[in-house]
Amino acid sequence: MEPVSRRPADGAGEEGEARLLVVDDEPFLRDAVAASLRFLGFDVTTGETGAQVLGLVRDRPFDLVVLDVMLPDTDGFEVVRRLRRDGHRVPVIFLTAKDTQADKVTGLTIGGDDYLTKPFGLEELAARIRSVLRRSRPAGTGPVLTFADLELDQDTYEVRRAGHPLDLSPTEFRLLRYLMLNPGRVLTRAQLLDHVWDYDFGGTSTVVSTYIAYLRRKLARFGADLIHTQRGVGYSLRAPRPGDAAAADEP
């Protein structure tokens, strides 16, 4: 792995260094990654098992986890499933030697934020970390986003519509947040993939339309449809208008 150039850590803002948890059972790789990220200004804790991840995340506030998929006691996918089931929303970047489309889709749809295949460059990993940190708390926004009767709290991960709490998955939360950051703007499928999943599916995956449909159903429980389809282009968040109801179920 090549050396990294010095650059301040992004994502933590005025709160100081971003707190990272790096987990890999290969000591050389784990220590090299941790040392490089500390050099860049991150506050790094390390681990080597899935059990350690679960214990550390429950006990300490981390801004991001860099997680190897192949761990000695369980795989990283199962670790993230348990974290999400327990309500932990910490962003996760998977590291893995597997380079199949199915594994990438699995990692990103169960609640992962990015996926990096070994071998990788430390500069690329640092760039991915900064990108995920920026997406997890976009610069220049307050903790609570509002649109119409929607409220989304970026600190507590709570979402309400007309005062009613909504139970969203991590991916649904990120999708709604990106739509709320761009109200009225038509966002293409490629833009949503880049900003919500941070992975280019080459335009062949139906993951965007699938999650749009999930999110629409949950929002529709407490009001008219707010997510609108621009045929052949993408999706936008806007207040309902007469005649929109007929298109509400379109993906």
Domain count within the chain: 2
Q: Are residues 215 and 195 in the same domain?
A: yes
Q: What is the CATH number of the domain that holds 226?
A: 1.10.10.10
How many Å apart are CA 41 and CA 16, to the nearest integer? 9
Q: What is the CATH number of the domain that holds 108?
A: 3.40.50.2300
Tell me the two tokens of residue 88: 């932990």
- Domain membership of residue 220 (yes or no) is yes
- Domain membership of residue 63 as a residue range: 19-136
**Residue 10 domain-assigned?**
no
Name, in order, each residue with C-beta under 8 angstroms of 153's C-beta and a sequence gap of 6 or more.
143, 144, 159
**Quick check: is 243 in a domain?**
no
Give the distance, in angstroms, between the CA of residue 105 and the centroid of all CA atoms in the same chain.
13
The answer to whether residue 76 sits within a structural domain is: yes
The two beta strands, 114-117 and 92-96, are parallel
Is position 121 within any domain? yes
Residues 57/67, Cβ–Cβ less than 8 Å: no
- Copy the structure tokens of residue 101: 């489309």
Q: What DSSP element (H or E) covers 152?
A: strand 150-153
Residues 53 and 128 in one domain: yes
Residue 74 lies inside a defined structural domain of this protein: yes
Domain contains 11:
no
Give pLDDT tens digits along the chain (251 positions): 545 544 444 444 333 368 899 999 899 999 999 999 998 888 899 999 999 999 999 888 888 999 998 899 988 889 988 888 887 888 999 888 766 666 666 766 777 888 888 888 888 899 889 888 877 765 545 678 888 899 998 878 899 999 999 999 888 998 999 898 888 888 888 878 877 875 544 444 578 888 999 999 999 999 888 999 888 888 999 886 655 443 444 44
